Amino acid sequence: MPASDGERKLIFLRHAENSGDALTEAGIKSALDIGKQLLKLPISLVVVSGAQRTAQTAACVLASGGIAAEQGVHVQTGFGSDDWASWGRLMDSLGTNDIKTIAQADPGIVHAASSAVDASIAWILARLGESKQALIVSHNPIVELAIWRLTGEPPAPFARGQWQAFSC
């Protein structure tokens, strides 16, 4: 749904299916399909975490959807992590990638990521202007952390290629 007058939207998308840091063939197809879903949304700004799989997802979405993001594609490392290994070990030990469970088990790792996520959201909102929409392509559980920081409610874990828009 397009943003109405004075309303901004952030569209959070978890990158598509990957192997290592590159999309699989299924991931490419999924990202192309997502572009067709987002075709009617006037996205003016795209932000990726800096990982190849997020940039590749964004490229497929933009190409397939014919989306001309007039403010371009930007890297905001706050939607990633310098320590994915610690996140991975924690999620493996917990048996879940649910952000609320992760925050209860290790508040420090989530607190550290929260500052970077908050700064990245502020950066986007400062550039977005009124009645504009931004597409943010990131990772699980950072997508969920960003939504939690934005809305005050932790969402369920996103599947690869899942997206959701939020007014702000």
Q: What is the pTM of this model?
A: 0.93
Percent of the chain with pLDDT over 90: 86
Range of the domain at 21: 9-167
The Cα–Cα gap between 99 and 120 comes to 18
Element (H, E) at 149: helix 142-151
Domain membership flag for residue 3 = no
Residue 83 lies in a domain: yes
**Lookup: tokens for 113:** 């990521």
Give the CATH number for residue 151: 3.40.50.1240
Does the structure show a pLDDT above 90 at 2? Answer: no
Domain count, the chain: 1
Please choose, from the candidates 3, 5, 10, the residue with its C-alpha nearest in 3D space to the C-alpha of residue 148.
10
